[in-house]
Amino acid sequence: MSAAQQIIGSANPLSESPIPSPTSGERNDHLWEIASLRQALRDGPSTEQQNDATKRPAGGISLDVMRSLYASNSGPIGLRRSNSSVVYPGGPPEFPPVKKLNPLNKKRILVSGGAGFVGSHLVDRLMLMGHDVIAIDNYFTGSKTNLAHWFGHPNFEMIRHDVVDPIMLEVDQIYHLACPASPVHYQSNPVKTLKTGFFGTYNMLGLAKRVKARFLLTSTSEVYGDPEEHPQKETYWGHVNCIGPRACYDEGKRVAEALAYSYARQDGVDVRVARIFNTFGPRMNWNDGRVVSNFIVQALKNDDITIYGDGSATRSFQYVHDLVDGLIALMESDYKEPVNLGNPEEYTIKQFADTILQLVRDHKERCGEAAPTSKVVHLPAAEDDPQRRKPDTTRAKEVLGWAPQWSATDGLRETVAYFHGRMQQG
């Protein structure tokens, strides 16, 4: 395996290869990494990586390229941009390899919440596919560093903007993601969450109407509340406590859906609605507060694993690349009813804690580190916490030909490696 393949492969925790370090001066680390990345892209995937071929993200973009954008903290390309005194004297900045699209196929695409966890993966994919992308974000939970590797690219624009206020742009498609999604964040300022749910969606739909853009709303499994139907189909109307602590998010997303379909009926806006189930992956904030990042970070730091309640509540977890595949497939489809996007593999939170502990143990062993010493502790259950959640994805299969390609454990291995890499870099 070439050195280049090794460094790209090092983002893959399934790989047994140790992470290589550059042999020349430390000041040139980032340049060495870019050269390695480019060489790897020319060489193509190693045999080990070809085994991942079935998990290829959509749009003809290879998994290795996707990984290179977030592996080892901000990624080799992010590192490259961090020291302009070294980069620019050699010539113009280099960027991840975007496709060259026929102008007839090239779209101008707005991603609200583009600097967030899911938004930044979507921006990456759309950029690599060759489109013009505008990301807007108020940086409440998103971060510029998630997209730093695109700054200065002629196809990319980043705007600090809160969707609660109107904005005028010329675009062909709008992916509306802007909204905090972690219960800790959305409950910290519930009125703002409701304003984002209503005014944010209202402004984005108003823009879609004015410029005749196709509009995709990222709704949520939370519209089903604490469901009495299991698994949840799109036809289920839900069981939401409209005065509880989760209402700001649940009802905010429900009104967002109502707005989308009202604009479709009244003004002919071309809408798509994705109901997203629990999603995880690289670029989640370490302090996001959701169960995946909490448990992984706790296990990596040997802290207690905090189960809220008795651990019998269930969730079904999908890897972020699957979600991005589904969002793009839905946007490009003619289907206008809501579509669940999630992985139906269901875990109790207790099983999930055990799974993560095992994966962290395996990862640390591969890295030559001691096994985690974390213990599971039980804290009071969260109020109105949905007791069971699992998507029925029949509709997504039928209308989009979409099904998750990643098992939860494969995605978790990558995510454990990501958080471990970040912690090592401080």
Please identify every residue annotated as catalytic.
249
Q: Which alpha helices (DSSP H) does 285-319 contain, by range?
A: 291-300
Tokens 């113009």 locate to 92
Minimum gap (Å) between residue 355 Cβ and ligand UGA: 13
Ranges within 222-241 binding ligand UGA (CB under 6 A): 222
Nearest by Cα to 411 from 302, 315, 317 = 317
Nearest by Cα to 307 from 342, 346, 355, 343 = 355
Q: Which is nearer to ligand UGA, 279 or 374 (CB)?
A: 279
Round to whole Å and give the CA distance between 76 and 128.
16
Q: Which is nearer to ligand UGA, 66 or 307 (CB)?
A: 307
Q: Which is nearer to ligand UGA, 107 or 378 (CB)?
A: 378
Tokens 């009802």 locate to 251
Round to whole Å and give the CA distance between 237 and 218.
17
Binds ligand UGA (CB under 6 A): choice among 376, 382, 399, 423: 382
Q: Which is nearer to ligand UGA, 66 or 313 (CB)?
A: 313
Binds ligand UGA (CB under 6 A): choice among 96, 183, 338, 404: 183
Site string for ligand UGA, 306-345 (x = CB under 6 A): xxx----x-x------------------------------
Minimum gap (Å) between residue 131 Cβ and ligand UGA: 25
Site string for ligand UGA, 241-280 (x = CB under 6 A): --------x--------------------------x-xx-
Task: Collect all residues with Cβ–Cβ distance below 8 Å to 267 and sequence separation of at least 6.
Answer: 209
Q: Quick check: 30 and 79 in contact, CB under 8 A?
A: yes
Binds ligand UGA (CB under 6 A): choice among 46, 201, 220, 374: 220
Q: Which residues of 106-123 are buried (b: 16+ CB within 10 A; e: fewer)?
A: bbbbbbbbbbbbbbbbbb
Let me know if 274 is exposed, middle or buried by CB neighbors in 10 A (0-12, 13-18, 19+). buried
Round to whole Å and give the CA distance between 192 and 184.
13
> What amino acid is encoded at 61 in this protein?
I
What are the start-end ranges of the E strands in 65-208?
108-112, 132-137, 156-160, 173-176
Q: Is 169 in the site for ligand UGA (CB under 6 A)?
A: no
Q: Which is nearer to ligand UGA, 172 or 385 (CB)?
A: 385
Round to whole Å and give the CA distance between 203 and 328.
22
Minimum gap (Å) between residue 406 Cβ and ligand UGA: 15
Q: Which is nearer to ligand UGA, 138 or 293 (CB)?
A: 293
Binds ligand UGA (CB under 6 A): choice among 181, 297, 360, 417: 181
Binds ligand UGA (CB under 6 A): choice among 10, 74, 193, 294: 294
Round to whole Å and give the CA distance between 295 and 196.
28
Q: Which is nearer to ligand UGA, 114 or 183 (CB)?
A: 183
Binds ligand UGA (CB under 6 A): choice among 283, 290, 321, 413: 290
Nearest by Cα to 277 from 318, 322, 226 = 318
Task: Collect all residues with Cβ–Cβ distance below 8 Å to 248 and sequence separation of at least 6.
Answer: 186, 187, 190, 191, 193, 194, 197
Specify the stretch interacting with ligand UGA by CB under 6 A; choose among 84-92, 106-114, 191-199, 286-294: 286-294
Q: Is 218 in the site for ligand UGA (CB under 6 A)?
A: no
Minimum gap (Å) between residue 365 Cβ and ligand UGA: 24
Q: Is 385 in the site for ligand UGA (CB under 6 A)?
A: yes
Q: Which is nearer to ligand UGA, 168 or 191 (CB)?
A: 191
Specify the stretch interacting with ligand UGA by CB under 6 A; choose among 79-87, 220-228, 234-242, 414-422: 220-228
Specify the stretch interacting with ligand UGA by CB under 6 A; choose among 50-58, 146-154, 218-226, 332-340: 218-226
Specify the stretch interacting with ligand UGA by CB under 6 A; choose among 95-103, 211-219, 302-310, 393-401: 302-310
For helices 349-366 and 408-424, angle between their N-to-C axes, nearest 10 degrees: 50
Nearest by Cα to 219 from 259, 166, 164 = 259
Question: Which residues lie near ligand UGA (CB under 6 A)?
Answer: 181, 183, 220-222, 249, 276, 278-279, 290-291, 294, 306-308, 313, 315, 349, 382, 385
